[in-house]
Structure 1
Amino acid sequence: MSHHGADGGGGADALAVLELLAQQAPQERFVELLDRARADGLSEARRAELERAVQLATGVGHALARREQRDAGLDALADTARDLTLPYDLDGLLRVIVRRAERLLDLDVAFVTLRDAHGLRVLHATEGDLAAPDPAAGWPGALDEDGIGGLARTLGAPVWTEDHLADERFARLPAIDELVASEGLRAFLAVPLRAGDTCLGLLYGADRRTRRFTAGELGLVGSLADLAAVATEKAGLLDQTRAEVTELERDSSRARTRLTRMRYIGEAHSRIMNLILAGGDLGNVAKAAGDALDACVLIRDPGGRALASTGGISGLDEEAVAKASLDAHAGRRPVLTGGATGQPTPEGGPEADRTWVAPVIAGSEDLGVLVVRAATPLTGEDERLLELAAQSVAFLLLMQRSTAVAEGPVRDELLDDLLAEPQHAPQQIAQRARRLGIDLRKPHVLVVARPEGGEQGRAVVWASSYAYRMAGLKTVQGGCIVLLLPGLDASAAAKAVSGELAPLLGHPVSVGAAGPGWSPDSVGRLYQEAMRCLDALSALGGTGAAASMDDLGFLGLLLSDDHDVDGFIESAIGPVLDYDAERFTDLTRTLEAYFASGASPTNAAEALHVHPNTVSRRLERIGELLGAEWQKPGQVLEVQLALRLQRTRDVLARRRADLVADTRPPAPPAPLQDAP
């Protein structure tokens, strides 16, 4: 009975344990079962059997839990393997890995470190709360090199610690200890990501409680690390391949863009050359180049004179342009006005970054420059187009020179006939001029240039090209180059010839000019005046200077054939005479009194019977009308001579009027009327 009862009781106890095991009850339920058995006063044998059953059930539960955990880990590894087959980039892949590791081992923190392109350890992905990396303080580099990560990399296997701060295997590193303490981390795990013999990086896990990692957990995380290493290597290769493909696409795009631009440059150059071959002039070429470059273009000769332009270039720094011109001719390529070729200086403003000077050269000969102000900064291809445009301008100038040389004898003969005294067949001369595109009824000036040394041949060739370019005529007489040019300003024409010819020859050139003239008959007279002007320059020690009759002042009046007294008076004191006539003032009489009194305002005031302040105010007004330098010796002499001529002309006019009045017949007497 007792034995049967014992057997029956033991079976009930075992059944209760099995029921708890089947329910996967927590450990606390088993403890409660043992506590009730003790309270019921079970025998020692039954209590021992029950404890043994609970112990076996607990072992079975732990085995089942481990198997379940292993199965879950294998499932997680399978899921991870599937995830890693997806086309992740490297950062996305690493985020998947740390997320799986954190969930697989129930970690508080998980992260991965890899080496960057410079060999530095960089935190690539993290899961859980973790302070930002501070490479300057040694985190995460110190953890990888000298901490638990360094040991795992050396062993090639996972390394863990139950409590990092208490583990004596690791040297105390301030950066790591501070991180661990501030984050409250205790247990640490480091697993190398190995691909063959290479350690690609390290997978870390950490808990904020002390913890021992089992062999099963280490096996799972090791397998995860192996999968991650393979996937990381492939992701890196994929990223590298993508980067190379992207770079190839960029190279291809740049090549296509460059090819398109080169094709455009070739077409633009062809248009300019076709324009030249079709007879286009410098203005047409400048416009075509400006359209191609989206820029304003100015073509200048070696003397800096504008030959053609597509519009004014505002704010042009002439000093910078002159320097850039020298650099451009020295380097034989376009130069930015702001600095060296292709490199604008920081102080050069936006306009300096867009203003270029390109040399116009033929062999070693300087034919001028192209000044270009672009709407946007020019690229390397644009710079090449600018070079081609400059070459096209040089080609056109050489063509014009060749044409001028070919037509030279005919044009020289025409000017020789115009200078002849008397002219032969004026009607035929006018017809010949029209056939050459020259209208002698329009204003023209005559310039005589005498090179002071050197060979004359180069000057003659230049003169032929210059005359053709300016739609004028050229000849050589008495060792001097004679140019008949359209225009009204003889002085400007003389300076332009001197400014271009003297630098070309490299020695002084004396230039005299006269004009304007308005008919073929005036050419001979202008030539004589220009020669006298040239002789006057030599006599006055002005060798190498350029001047016209107007520039010589009263000497020009004496040397000219027409003795233009009215013109001289107008140029010297015309504004004062006009002011007196319009406002009925006495500025002219004040000037005469001022010079008569030895340039003394006080004595002039006494002679005029006015206050000295009145004379001073009148002299200030005269200075405003004649210019600030009217009392300089040269201008004073002309003013005094003009006053004397004006006074003499007035006296002669009054005398003629009196003479006419004296010779007029007396009026007949009035008829007598009869007295009423």
Structure 2
Amino acid sequence: MTDLAIARLLSALEGGLPGDLERAVDDAGLSPDAAASARRVAATCAAAARSRLLVDTLYDTATDLAGIADPDQVLAAIAQRTRAVTGADMAYVSLNDHATGETYICQSDGVRTREYATIRMPLGTGVLGKAATGMAVVSTSDYVDDPTIVHLDPIDAIVRLEGVKSILGVPMNVQGRIQGALLIADRRQVDYPAETREIVDAIARQAAVAIDHSARLAHVTAALEELGAREDAGRARMGAMQSLLDFDRRLVEAVGARDQAGIVGLLSAVYDARVDVLSPDDDPGDPILRAAITSAVSSGLPFPVSTPGGQATICAAQVGGSHHGTVVVHTAIPVAERDALEHAAVHLGLAALIDRIEADAEQRSQYELLDDCISGRAEPGAALRARMTRHGVDPRKPLMMLAIRTSLPDALPVVRRALRAPALVAEHGGHLCALAQTAEPCARRVWAALAPADPDAQVGSSRVHGNLGDIPRAHRSADTALASLRLLGGEVLDGDTIGSLGALLEAEQAGSLPRGVRAPALPLVDYDAGHGTDLVRTAWAVLEFGPQLPAAAAALFIHPNTLRQRMHRIATLLGEGWQAGAGRLDLHLALRALMMERSRG
């Protein structure tokens, strides 16, 4: 492969364009497996780029809100960024004219014809008019031929002229006031996925805040002129309005700083009351409050409620149709003064969405790094050390590999807290894997953290010896320990202490198991296959428990007499000295290897 071909391949992987990637793969002459790996890397880069672009879009729009001067410029930027982050052919913002019952496109990006860019249509018609009513998100993959849409012939003609096939529209509203809609459109048939709907919904909420913000700014300006003659009253009202504007600005700054406590503090200062934020999983205890939260989530509006502690007002923090929490202000707030509460809830939802996007990207990055280390694809060297350092793990210090089996749904944060050390933690191979920067045994501590919620949790471990090239072996050793726990029972096992069986099983995982290891047990394997019996398990139990036949029978859930009958059959297949002869160790190892293999499967 030439340097030029390598450079083109790397550029295509980073750029993520399918056509460029396929040409670069062909030029590089990659094998089918290498080409498939290149496509997976390109897909990963593209997903990470989309996540970064969404976070940047929300931050950039928030910055515009903080220093808004020209509302039209902000709406134009929203249309441009919506198109960029979704990859749609066009994006546009409409505003409602309630006096005429119509909605009209005020800003657009990617629209080719003037007729489309200046569409004005009745509310409830088409995708645009239907979304602008605020009832729901509206989408179609074939606009002109969609029978569920209320069509107008002049509008259909404009749509045909623009060449539009697919449209997705999301309402823009603040405190129940429908201001218009944010839409994307494509000149091809597209079934918009939930991820795209969530992105457009998140940006639409910011657009709604921008419109409301600019209206309040205009109102402040008019109020200053109107109240010039009534100086004392004017000062008081001006101060209140300017305080609301400053509140909006500080909310945006708090979102940018990822400061949820700052948002709560701002809201508490506005209403001079205690403010709590309940997560969607929190049970408020009080059935009245629980019912009020349900109503607030379904309506999307602030909701008054009487709690055991007195009057309160609540508002759900929602973005993209997802409930991210509930804001509880412990005081009764008049309807006219609930703007600050709703704005704070919107910003808390946006902050939660940004946190989730970044957490997903971080977890995906950790999985890829762990997978590269475990599989041996990542060569030990400066590049691998730099990747580990970016995740807070110092590869120069001792490392411990853990393989964890647990049924706990949210085990990742539990494991991280229990490790008390920088670590890479991700699901891998049907169980959790952790590569922790620690020299002390930590498997028992991790099990103790999981056990209260999952008593059947099990943890296998192994130290990483020498350099990072030992990580694949350490993972095999920890995985072997976990398989042994599943077979023999127990909670925690160090794979480095299993001994000769562990070495054989690690060699098997590495693809270098010597031939003939299972040979002593093959007569039993063949007999079981032909007769539907389980002599392999029977022989294993007898050798595990030694002369204690009742214990072996109990482990097999059979009567001791039945066990003796099976032992007689085994003796006819292996010879009378199978329990104590010279080949006993070889047979025992073969049986253990077979049983361990079953436990993994």
**TM bin (shorter chain):** 0.3 to 0.5
TM-score, length basis structure 1: 0.29
Higher relative contact order (CA 8 A, sep 6+): 2
**Higher gyration radius (CA):** 1
